[in-house]
Amino acid sequence: MTVAVVGSVNMDVVARVARIPRPGETLLATGSSRGGGGKGANQAVAAARAGGVPAVFIGAVGADGDGSALREALIRDGIDVSGLATAPLPTGVALISVSDDGENAIVVVSGANAAVDRLGDDQRALVAAADVVLAQLEIPLPGVLAAAEARADHAAFVLNAAPSGALAARDTAARVLAVVDVLVVNEHELRDILRGTGGDAGHELEAAVDAIAARVPALVVTLGAAGAVVAVGRERRHVPAFPTQAVDTTAAGDTFCGVLAARLSDAGRRPDADVLADAARAGAAAAALAVARPGAQEAVPTADEVAGLLETAS
């Protein structure tokens, strides 16, 4: 069983601030750091640390110091980076402000991630060999669709539709939903997609879930402290959140998605509601541990830590 993650990798430049600055305002940071990030790479790290299944990362970095550092960091986590190309662009950068209450504001400079608008033959072969293929929307949409097209017939294509702005366009949303096996979104992203399908984004949450669940085989909506909703056909499962004290929410959703994908791969079959709910529960536990720590990839917990929290909560 293998998880292939197709997506972005960035160097995160983080400033710790008392609060997120208002437009036009300058604040003095209390500290700063640099570390590995990008939704795709974060999710690959989470999948690798979940244990049990190998993780493959497919993306692009620049021929610069940041690209080399990010590649080496993924290798240290045991991730196969044979599909990580070197593009004639600078490595992607994310500029992140993190407030004392754990909230964040993020600006991404795509850089080399913009080169993942297609997959080479070797990259397609890595996707075709995977049991679960996980993608996000920090790379160009043609690259996401290429990943879905390259997957094996038995493989599940999991899309974390973040950031969701591109799917607010009707034609785009329809093309993407047509290739998804499992869609993972938060409530804001759910409403963007609902708008893109011509629905009423002002619907109550339950109606919004029903509307999008009718368009995809399986849907997971993360709701922060309220947990998550799993929808497969007409079946619904509520996955409670785990109590935590947030320090930095930067990679919470990425951690959730990577662990969920690893659990789905370990299950070895297309998920029904129960399998998906179990995977989402593990993802929620991992996310709760991640937000209690600063940083993105460095905050992702190990399989033993997740197992410990699940056992304590059961």
- Residues marked active site are found at 254
| CA dist 96 → 244, 245, 289 (Å) | 22, 20, 20
Question: Rounded CA gap, 302 and 88, in Å?
Answer: 34
Cβ-based burial of 81 (10 A; exposed 0-12, middle 13-18, buried ≥19): buried
Q: DSSP 3-state assignment of 265?
A: helix
Residue with tokens 């029904």: 272
Sort 28 into a burial class: Cβ within 10 Å, 0-12 / 13-18 / 19+: exposed
Is-contact 33 295, C-beta < 8 A?
yes
How many residues comprise the chain? 314
Total Cβ atoms within 10 A of residue 101:
11
* Token pair 């305002």 in the structure block, residue: 25
Alpha helices in the chain (DSSP H): 39-49, 65-76, 121-128, 141-150, 170-177, 187-196, 205-213, 252-267, 273-291, 303-313
